[in-house]
Amino acid sequence: MGTTAVERPAPRGTDTRRRRVVGLGMLAVVLVAAGVVSLAVGARALSPAEVWHGLFAAPDSDQRLTEIRLIVRTVRVPRTVLAIVAGIALGVGGALIQGYTRNPIADTGLLGVNAGASFAVVSVIAVFGFSNPFQYVWFAFLGAAVAGVVVFGLASIGRGAGNPLTLALAGQGITVFLAAMTTAVALTDLASLNALRFWNAGSVAGVGFDVIWPVTAFIVVGLVLALAMLPSLNLLNLGDDVARGLGVNIALSRTVGIVAITLLAGAATAACGPIAFLGLMVAHVARYMTGPDYRWLVPYAGLLGAVVLLVCDIVGRLVVRPGELDAGVLVALLGAPFFAVLVWRGKFRNA
């Protein structure tokens, strides 16, 4: 806000600031409300009193209440927490990668994160015969991180180091290569193909806290790194020469930024599978709401990501009962038309 306040008359600057804080608060309220709904809604609908009981009551002998406790604590709470955590990670990751690559159509998938995770999942299933997501989630994270590091490493070699275009092209090259290898494995091993199609849909269900806590730890580290770099990211977007002139260590800022993106997207993808389009979409909506200042844009994108993923997960539980529609599928089905309307109304500028 500092720069805007200097350029503009003071009252108007404070006004904008207040509006942004209020907007952020409203997003947080929406997120909490969605979280409550998420606990109550599902194959078995629960009343608020039942949810409360499930969350806080001590175990007792009533079989019906024990069942509710079980549903709330082992099913509803984990998937709600994961949707929020992963949504924040993907939203922030999407906003950051568009900032660091200065490419408005960049998505976290661009760093090879999704492709690396998918390849790792398919490979360990084909080689070790794993069938349980708990067994391959760590390989997914490893694959995501390695792919991210390789892409960034390749893009950092030599004269074009840090050039946004080089990074995007290197990401595309590695992504397509890994996707081909994934298909090659999947086509020769039917079990891997079967696991891959469910993994690929992207879902926040079916993962317990034994996975969620470690994943959250990685995401928190990523968020801290990301937030620390926001002021320099603003300057980077003025162009490398201007940023250098203003005293930004470009290589450091970019490296830390890319590490943060890899942690955020890699951890979220490991736990949920590739959820495409979410990061790209919320980054644009956030930019429309806040303007180009990344210190505001990134928190907005994070909260928006969480709201969208959570709402999509809730809707997915309701529309094809008794089955469920995966959150990743719904993010695209619901989010894309909404996004298209905003685009058509001319809300977005080439950033």
Partner 1 sequence: MNGTDVKPSVAPGVRLGQVSFVWRPLIVFVTLLLAAATFLVFCVSIGVGDFPIGLNRVIATILGRGERVDEFVIMDLRMPRALAGLVVGIALGVSGAITQSIARNPLASPDILGVTAGASAVSVFLVTVSGGTATAIVSSVGLSSAALLGGLGTGLLVYFMAWRRGVDGFRLILIGISVSAVMEAITTWLLVTADIRDVAKAQAWLVGSLDNRSWGEVRIALWCTLVLLVVVASVAFQFKPMHFGDEIAAGLGVRYSIVRAVLLLCAVLLAAAAVSAAGPVPFVALVAPQVAMRLARCPTPPMVASGLVGALLLIGADLVARTALPISLPVGVVTAAIGGPFLVYLLVRANLR
- Taking CB under 8 A as the criterion, the residue among 161, 251, 252, 318 binding partner 1 is 161
Q: By CB under 8 A, which span of 37-45, 52-60, 76-84, 327-335 interacts with partner 1?
A: 327-335
Say how far apart CA 68 and CA 46 lie, in whole Å: 8
| Shortest reach from residue 257's CB to partner 1, in Å | 20
Closer CB to partner 1, 72 or 117, in the complex: 117
Per-residue buried b or exposed e for 185-201, using 16+ beta carbons within 10 Å of the residue's own CB: bbeebeebbebbeebbb
Of 219, 80, 204, give the one whose Cα is nearest residue 133: 204
Sign of CA dihedral 120, 126, 130, 132: positive
Binding-site size for partner 1 (CB under 8 A) equals 61
Residue type, 260: A
**Residue 339 interacts with partner 1 (CB under 8 A): yes or no:** yes
**Residue 251 interacts with partner 1 (CB under 8 A): yes or no:** no
| Shortest reach from residue 185's CB to partner 1, in Å | 10
| Shortest reach from residue 328's CB to partner 1, in Å | 7
| Shortest reach from residue 285's CB to partner 1, in Å | 12
Say how far apart CA 238 and CA 169 lie, in whole Å: 22
- By CB under 8 A, the residues from 265 to 284 that bind partner 1 are 276-277, 280-281, 284
| Shortest reach from residue 321's CB to partner 1, in Å | 15
**Residue 103 interacts with partner 1 (CB under 8 A): yes or no:** yes
Q: Which residue has the tokens 């998937």?
A: 79
- Taking CB under 8 A as the criterion, the residue among 57, 154, 220, 250 binding partner 1 is 154
**Residue 188 interacts with partner 1 (CB under 8 A): yes or no:** yes
- Taking CB under 8 A as the criterion, the residue among 22, 70, 165, 224 binding partner 1 is 165
Closer CB to partner 1, 173 or 206, in the complex: 173
Residue type, 72: V
Angle CA(208)–CA(271)–CA(141) in degrees, nearest 5? 125
| Shortest reach from residue 161's CB to partner 1, in Å | 7
Closer CB to partner 1, 46 or 170, in the complex: 170
Residues 6+ apart with CB under 8 A from 54: 39, 46, 68, 69, 71, 72, 73, 76
Sign of CA dihedral 274, 278, 281, 287: negative
Say how far apart CA 256 and CA 254 lie, in whole Å: 6
| Shortest reach from residue 11's CB to partner 1, in Å | 34
Say how far apart CA 17 and CA 77 lie, in whole Å: 34
Say how far apart CA 196 and CA 249 lie, in whole Å: 41
User: CB atoms < 10 A from the CB of 16, how many?
Assistant: 18
Interacting residues toward partner 1 by CB under 8 A: 103-105, 154-155, 157-161, 163, 165-166, 168-170, 172-181, 183-184, 186-188, 190, 193-194, 197-198, 200-201, 276-277, 280-281, 284, 325-326, 328-333, 335-337, 339-340, 343-344, 346, 348, 350
